[in-house]
Amino acid sequence: IQPEDEADPMNIEQRASHVSLSRWAPISLSQKAKQRVVLNNRRMTFDTEAWTIKNIDDKAVDETYVVERSIGCFVENLLSRALSFTEYSLAESPHDFILFLDDTSRLRTIPLSCLDFSSVETMCIFVNIYHCLFQHALLLSANGPPTKRSIARFMNCTCYEIGDDVFSLAEIEHCVIRARMSRPANNRVSFVSVPKVSHNHYYYALSTFACDARINFFLNTGATSNLGSVSILSPLTMNEQINAACSKFLDKELTIDSKKRLILLPKICDIYRNDFGNGDSNSCLYFCLQFVNSDKQNAILSLMEGNVAAIKFQNFCDTYHLNLSMEA
């Protein structure tokens, strides 16, 4: 679990002070400084629609909820449009993509101080922004999808400016969404981590996913071991959406070889095994069982009789999707 001083959100004044120190700080990768690439700066902030808080006469209405829902609806629409693009549609209708780029600039004016980082709404906002930025970056990649050699730079240097700060894909994933969850347990895997300069972003840690291992199956890292589609999270249907995504992911990545009495779990279970109960392979397997269909459940339970089945993990995947699509 992240150290307490990294995972606890800071107050508004402290957040403001750390921004000036790390906002545009270069990213150190393999002992080389790499500049951030901010993808939502087509328009200046004064040329975008601000998130104004209108006077609310009804005192029973939660002002924070109104602001969050407004931002949430905007981000959901933004992700929907991002997922509608392909490399072919960009050539056929570039004007639609330009309008999308203009609207991403509005993320720069989001009032982060008005968001409740313990709310489901804010969690949905950041998960949707993460997937939007990932798709945005894939669409603009001149050299195709990331590779084993380029994925660290892709994740750490691809950024959106959000409110008064700049967030890379890796910072949103590790410092915001996964901030209160376990660190990787398997150091032999070439997972993408965040450099020390990114640690200030732990101040934006969400508390909603503090103990929810489902995020490992839902958050799309772009690898072909992940689904090629993502859902647009909405607070009212979030649990159903995440459960459905977990089932679809495990239907693909949890495999059985009855002849060899072998069960292969997704590699993500090996990397973040401490998110799953006791952190052993049995705990990972029994967590996964709740999301697979009854036929696969029965087959696994049958193999587990007598404790003679071998539980292993899939190989690490280092190939990536060309772009993402919207989950039907």
Q: What pLDDT is stored for residue 307 in this prediction? A: 74
β-bridge mates for residue 160, sequence order: 167
Checking if the pLDDT of 229 tops 60, the result is: yes
53-94 pLDDT, tens per residue?
Answer: 655 555 556 677 788 899 999 999 999 999 999 988 888 889
252 CB neighbour count, 10 Å cutoff:
12
Residues facing 326 on adjacent strands? 230
How far, in Å, CA of 116 to CA of 114, rounded?
A: 7
pTM (2 decimals)? 0.88
- Cα angle for residues 62, 64, 70 (degrees, 5° grid): 105
Which pLDDT band, with edges at 50, 70 and 90, does 1 fall under? very low
Exposed e or buried b per residue across 121-160, where buried means at least 16 C-beta atoms within 10 angstroms of its C-beta: bbbbbbbbbbbbbbbbbbbebeeebbeeeebbbbbbbbbb
Q: What are phi and psi of 37, to 5 degrees?
A: -115, 105
Q: How far apart are CA 161 and CA 172, in angstroms?
A: 11
Tens-place pLDDT, residues 148-205: 888 988 998 899 999 989 999 999 999 999 988 888 886 555 566 666 666 777 778 8
pLDDT surpassing 60 at residue 292: yes
| CA angle (141, 188, 270) in 5-degree steps | 85
Region at 4 (left for phi over 0; alpha for psi -120 to 50; beta for the rest) = alpha
Query: Residue 197's pLDDT is what?
Result: 61
Query: Average pLDDT of 117-132?
Result: 95
